[in-house]
Amino acid sequence: MSSMNIPQSSYPRVVIIGGGFGGIALAKKLSKKEAQVVLLDKHNYHNFQPLLYQVSTGGLEPDSIAYPIRKVLQGYPNFFFRLAQVKEVKTDTKRIKTNIGEIFYDYLVVATGSETNFFGNKNIKAKGMAMKTIPQSLNLRSLILENFEQALLTDDLHERDALMNFVIVGGGPTGVELAGALAEIKKGILPKDYPDLDTRRAQINLVQGGDRILPAMSEKASEKAEKFLEELGVNVWKNIRVTDYDGKKVTTNTKTIFEAETLVWAAGVKAVGLKGLDVRELLSRDNRLKVNEFHQIVGLEDVFAIGDVAQMVTEEFPHGHPMMAQPAIQQGRNLGDNLVLLMDGKPMKPFVYKDKGSMATVGRNKAVVDLPKFRFQGVFAWFVWMFVHLYFLIGFRNRVVVFINWVYNYIRFDREARLIIRPFKKQNKVEKNTLMQD
Amino acid sequence: MSSMNIPQSSYPRVVIIGGGFGGIALAKKLSKKEAQVVLLDKHNYHNFQPLLYQVSTGGLEPDSIAYPIRKVLQGYPNFFFRLAQVKEVKTDTKRIKTNIGEIFYDYLVVATGSETNFFGNKNIKAKGMAMKTIPQSLNLRSLILENFEQALLTDDLHERDALMNFVIVGGGPTGVELAGALAEIKKGILPKDYPDLDTRRAQINLVQGGDRILPAMSEKASEKAEKFLEELGVNVWKNIRVTDYDGKKVTTNTKTIFEAETLVWAAGVKAVGLKGLDVRELLSRDNRLKVNEFHQIVGLEDVFAIGDVAQMVTEEFPHGHPMMAQPAIQQGRNLGDNLVLLMDGKPMKPFVYKDKGSMATVGRNKAVVDLPKFRFQGVFAWFVWMFVHLYFLIGFRNRVVVFINWVYNYIRFDREARLIIRPFKKQNKVEKNTLMQD
């Protein structure tokens, strides 16, 4: 037995760091091949990030959009999962240091994904909310609900408004979808839950630095999404950059300020780096690892990167592929095929990204879809959005439960998963250490 | 506006502390009457405790067995919920002190329920796991999964066995149901999830102080439940009391010891007391408030207690009614009617408990049911158990989601909600403060 109790094998060992879309797609490709696959992740589950905003807004349970990694690759004899935090990669000796020991690799694939990028703004990082992981999404859910409970208690109108004022920074899909969901909660749930509070005063502000929301989509989609948001009562602010936040006041590069107890930062992501691969020449501006058309990290033949953490510069994508699920999945599959070719001594096939389009949902019957050949918005787009998300969700049970929830929420105009299971405010103020067990 | 921003009303104010089975049943009864109802709870959700063990064992998501309290009583104009922790009750001035301010009551109903009783054993409290709340159940789920991940890593057979050794103390329904569920996981899931671990060595021990498990049920039920547990491979230990636990070794009042990294304490509950009502004469041995046949706390005409926290001594129940959902629900309803009579100046009706029977489930197709007139065990009992639990679960969506999960788990011999969302071990060792947000 080698370190981490992974048995010696006559097959070459492929170590994958990260069980996101890319890592899982790759592991599946390799699962029946002549390779020993070791997947490392600090969580024991794969997390379907595109639906995190529905967890934050009480529409879905967190367990429905997560899936045990062990279960994805159950039954494959050459597959090994280890719950581990990677500390360092040593490319000279082909070893990885983790919190549970060291491991040797023949081929290493970095699929660590991305995290929220606050662009160095410490105040926003400290006082704002991010929404890139399940615990973060649950924290946001708690905070939103706690704010309304607190708004009930104060007679200070100024304070009450600030508690019901939401500033979402970033007009990409995450910001748009969260703003839309909050607007629906404001309309459908708050008046019933808080009849003694004038919830019409609740404000949802979406702040976008550029001149249109959903800038990665077509202009038609941006336009329509903005119209949908306005119909729902969201205040869309364009050409404004948020510059600072002290937990109460949001300042911008213009005269506009917001007094808000909740700021959600969805304005940027950066790749999750690894010690040992943090050489300046390897990294792009947003911390991504520069790779060639075979996903090989520049200068390293047996180390690869896929998904959000990889930057493959092409004519069409001079800054790398979009940091989304689709490129990660396609890259994982391509690399799976290529690793088999490489082990057989055959030439690898360069990666070609097939753009399957992109989409975002704003609210019930309101979505925008850009396919390579068609663009459409509205009810049909909304059904397509739901179908595609159910299709890519891992696990039959998850699909059924999510589907049931969506049907229920649609018919009842409701979102029932609005529980403060882990109080966020309290935890971050007085009772930090005790509350988790209570 | 009075304190806590609850408007003045011409109706008398009934303050209910606790949104469990009793508190909710009472609030529902009063919701359309001429009374202002204020419900205080430290959580914003009602929690269906009988199914907590399924959360701990990955069979159900926590959100499916919880329900927003505001939603239960949505639409009733005289109902007010406040998320509050009660600090003290002042019966002389009829005021309640909470973390969000003071409030006056005309009638006070204490429905604070019960918590785990470690009978003063500090070591067991510190090192053992309880399972009375949703966060506790999630902690147990994390710990079980973390133990198996850790068992994979060690070559020390002794340590590995301890990580896979489970000691459940207490042979009541909670202990029996948890032991049965763990045994099913051992059989159906562990071999697939951990093919490189000899999971047959995992041991599930149920330790009961008395001479039979399920002592509150019929002897036939006890006998059959024990047989079911043994079929599933659970080691049932009777006439043994656990005396101490240092986190590694479980000592008992006999020569038997267990080396186990997991001890679940399900051997007792005690009422949750309140400052101001903690007079020795008012309290029973297990901290319950002594009440008369109208649920009035002895010596206090306008203060009532229902559910686990109340002890109404009758001929049939010399130590009070069982601390379970049924008595709490019936007491809540009875008190609701009585408060209306009291406000109208009419005589109240004494509480008469209708025993609807009790039941426990051990595993698939294996349950025991004692009805007042029938007793049965096995497949039919199991269906009855499921039907009754679905019936009493609050919320249509919850029922559908729980039902879907049960069907899925039954057909697939699976439990998919096995995610370590909040690592328990780590949190309690090195990284206590940071992990909740990660």
Domain holding B13: CATH number? Answer: 3.50.50.60
- In the 8-state DSSP scheme, what is residue B137? H
Q: How far is B90 from chain A (nearest CA, A)?
A: 22
Chain B contact for A12, CB < 8 A? no
Residues on chain A touching B103 (C-beta within 8 angstroms): none
Is A367's pLDDT higher than 60? yes
pLDDT digits (tens, 9 = 90+) for A262-312: 999 999 999 999 999 988 888 998 999 999 999 999 889 999 999 999 999
Mean pLDDT of the region A326-342: 97
Q: Which residues pair with B67 in a beta bridge?
A: B46
The residue behind tokens 């309880």 is B130
Q: Which residues of B are catalytic?
A: 177
Q: Which of A177, A184, A226, A261 is catalytic?
A: A177
Q: Give the pLDDT confidence score for residue B408 in this predicted structure.
A: 87
Residues on chain B touching A64 (C-beta within 8 angstroms): 61
Q: What is the mean pLDDT of chain B?
A: 92
Quickly state the pLDDT bin for B414 (edges 50, 70, 90).
Answer: confident
- Angle between the N-to-C axes of helices B396-412 and A396-412, in degrees from 0 to 180, rounded to the nearest 10: 160
Q: Give the pLDDT confidence score for residue B375 in this predicted structure.
A: 96
Is A201's pLDDT higher than 60? yes
Reading the block at residue B278, the tokens are 């903690």
Beta strands A269-271 and A95-98, pairing class: unpaired
Tell me, yes or no, whether A139 and A158 share the same domain.
Answer: yes
Tell me, yes or no, whether A129 and A110 share the same domain.
Answer: no
Q: How far is B192 from chain A (nearest CA, A)?
A: 6
**Contact assessment for residue B171 and residue B206, using Cβ atoms and an 8 Å cutoff:** yes
Quickly state the pLDDT bin for B395 (edges 50, 70, 90).
Answer: confident
Closest CA to B224 of B358, B367, B356: B367
Catalytic: A177?
yes
- CB proximity under 8 Å: A 100-119 to B: 100-101
Q: Is A219 exposed, middle or buried (0-12, 13-18, 19+ CB in 10 A)?
A: exposed
Which residue of B1, B193, B420 is in closest CB contact with A155? B1
Is A408's pLDDT higher than 90? no
Q: How far is B431 from chain A (nearest CA, A)?
A: 11
Q: Give the pLDDT confidence score for residue A235 in this predicted structure.
A: 98
Q: Give the pLDDT confidence score for residue A165 in this predicted structure.
A: 97
Distance separating alpha carbons of residues B30 and B393, to the nearest angstrom: 20
- B418–A68: do the CB atoms touch at under 8 Å? yes
The residue behind tokens 């690399």 is A335
Closest CA to A259 of A145, A176, A147, A167: A167
Is A2's pLDDT higher than 80? no
**Contact assessment for residue A272 and residue A113, using Cβ atoms and an 8 Å cutoff:** yes
pLDDT digits (tens, 9 = 90+) for A82-119: 999 999 999 999 999 999 999 999 999 999 999 999 99
Is the residue at A67 inside a domain?
no
Is the residue at A424 inside a domain?
yes
Distance separating alpha carbons of residues A197 and A190, to the nearest angstrom: 9
- B135–A436: do the CB atoms touch at under 8 Å? yes
Is the residue at A354 inside a domain?
no
Residues on chain B touching A401 (C-beta within 8 angstroms): 61, 401, 404-405
Closest CA to B64 of B397, B410, B384, B409: B397
CATH number assigned to the domain comprising residue A188 = 3.50.50.100
- A401–B396: do the CB atoms touch at under 8 Å? no
Is the residue at B437 inside a domain?
no
Tell me, yes or no, whether A238 and A163 share the same domain.
Answer: yes
- In the 8-state DSSP scheme, what is residue B432? T
**Contact assessment for residue B165 and residue B205, using Cβ atoms and an 8 Å cutoff:** yes
Mean pLDDT of the region A360-384: 95
Reading the block at residue A398, the tokens are 């998850």
pLDDT digits (tens, 9 = 90+) for B202-254: 999 999 999 999 999 999 999 999 999 999 999 999 999 999 999 999 999 99
Is the residue at B109 inside a domain?
yes
Q: Give the pLDDT confidence score for residue A196 in this predicted structure.
A: 86
- A438–B133: do the CB atoms touch at under 8 Å? yes
Q: How far is B362 from chain A (nearest CA, A)?
A: 23
Distance separating alpha carbons of residues B49 and B56, to the nearest angstrom: 12
Mean pLDDT of the region B164-169: 98
SS3 B278: coil
Does this complex have an ipTM over 0.95? no
Q: Give the pLDDT confidence score for residue B228 in this predicted structure.
A: 98
**Contact assessment for residue B276 and residue B91, using Cβ atoms and an 8 Å cutoff:** yes
The residue behind tokens 């057909």 is B411
Instruction: Please state whether the predicted TM-score (pTM) of the whole model is above 0.80.
Output: yes
Is B435's pLDDT higher than 90? no
Is B377's pLDDT higher than 70? yes
Q: Is A233 left (phi over 0), alpha (psi -120 to 50) or beta?
A: left
Q: Is B320 left (phi over 0), alpha (psi -120 to 50) or beta?
A: left
- B417–A63: do the CB atoms touch at under 8 Å? yes
Distance separating alpha carbons of residues A395 and A389, to the nearest angstrom: 12
Closest CA to B100 of B23, B19, B38, B13: B38
Distance separating alpha carbons of residues A235 and A168, to the nearest angstrom: 10
Q: What is the mean pLDDT of chain A?
A: 92
Mean pLDDT of the region A249-264: 97
Host domain of residue A98: 3-42+84-115+270-343
Tell me, yes or no, whether A200 and A301 share the same domain.
Answer: no
Which residue from B minimizes the CA distance to A83?
Answer: B149
Q: Give the pLDDT confidence score for residue A418 in this predicted structure.
A: 83
Q: How many residues does chain B have?
A: 438
Number of domains in chain A: 2
Of all helices (H) and strands (E), which one includes residue B312?
A: strand B310-312
Q: Give the pLDDT confidence score for residue B437 in this predicted structure.
A: 30
Identify the domain boundary among B236, B267, B298: B267
**Contact assessment for residue A50 and residue A357, using Cβ atoms and an 8 Å cutoff:** no
Is A432's pLDDT higher than 50? no
Is the residue at B433 inside a domain?
no
Is A354's pLDDT higher than 80? yes
- CB proximity under 8 Å: B 253-312 to A: none
Is the residue at B397 inside a domain?
no
- A135–B436: do the CB atoms touch at under 8 Å? yes
Mean pLDDT of the region B143-166: 94
Chain A contact for B343, CB < 8 A? no
Residues on chain A touching B396 (C-beta within 8 angstroms): 408
Q: How many residues does chain A have?
A: 438
Reading the block at residue A271, the tokens are 């790749």
Tell me, yes or no, whether A111 and A127 share the same domain.
Answer: no
> Is B187 or A437 the better-scoring residue by pLDDT?
B187
Tell me, yes or no, whether B94 and B186 share the same domain.
Answer: no
Best of A38, A418, A433 to mutate (most B CBs within 10 Å, chain B): A418
Quickly state the pLDDT bin for A417 (edges 50, 70, 90).
Answer: confident
Best of A6, A70, A431 to mutate (most B CBs within 10 Å, chain B): A70
> Is B264 or A425 the better-scoring residue by pLDDT?
B264
Chain A contact for B67, CB < 8 A? yes
- CB proximity under 8 Å: A 116-175 to B: 133-136, 139, 145-146, 149, 152-155
Report how far apart, in Å, the C-alpha atoms of A166 and of each of A98, A175, A265, B244, B404 are: 39, 12, 11, 51, 35
Is A394's pLDDT higher than 90? no
Edge to edge, what strands does the sheet with A257-259 contain? A242-245, A249-252, A257-259
Which residue of B136, B196, B416 is in closest CB contact with A395? B416
Q: Which residues pair with B251 in a beta bridge?
A: B244, B257
In A179-259, beta strands by DSSP E: 203-207, 235-237, 242-245, 249-252, 257-259
Which residue from A minimizes the CA distance to B402?
Answer: A401
Residues on chain B touching A4 (C-beta within 8 angstroms): 153
Quickly state the pLDDT bin for B1 (edges 50, 70, 90).
Answer: very low
pLDDT digits (tens, 9 = 90+) for B378-391: 999 999 999 999 99
Is the residue at B410 inside a domain?
no
Quickly state the pLDDT bin for A245 (edges 50, 70, 90).
Answer: very high
Chain B contact for A216, CB < 8 A? no
- List own/partner pairs for A364-367 with CB under 8 A and 24 or more apart: A364/A184, A364/A410, A364/A413, A366/A180, A366/A228, A366/A231, A366/A232
Backbone angles phi, psi at A151, to 5 degrees: -60, -35
Tell me, yes or no, whether B334 and B229 share the same domain.
Answer: no
Tell me, yes or no, whether A178 and A226 share the same domain.
Answer: yes
- A408–B397: do the CB atoms touch at under 8 Å? yes
Backbone angles phi, psi at B262, to 5 degrees: -130, 120
Tell me, yes or no, whether B180 and B237 share the same domain.
Answer: yes
Closest CA to A393 of A70, A159, A130, A51: A51
Tell me, yes or no, whether B194 and B238 share the same domain.
Answer: yes
Identify the domain boundary among B226, B252, B267: B267
Q: Give the pLDDT confidence score for residue A419 in this predicted structure.
A: 85
Best of B419, B428, B430 to mutate (most A CBs within 10 Å, chain A): B419
Q: What share of chain B is helix, strand, coil (3-state, %, to 5)?
A: 35, 25, 40
Tell me, yes or no, whether B297 and B247 share the same domain.
Answer: no
Which residue of B152, B401, B436 is in closest CB contact with A404? B401
Chain A contact for B49, CB < 8 A? no
Tell me, yes or no, whether A235 and A379 share the same domain.
Answer: yes
Residues on chain B touching A63 (C-beta within 8 angstroms): 61-63, 416-417, 419, 421
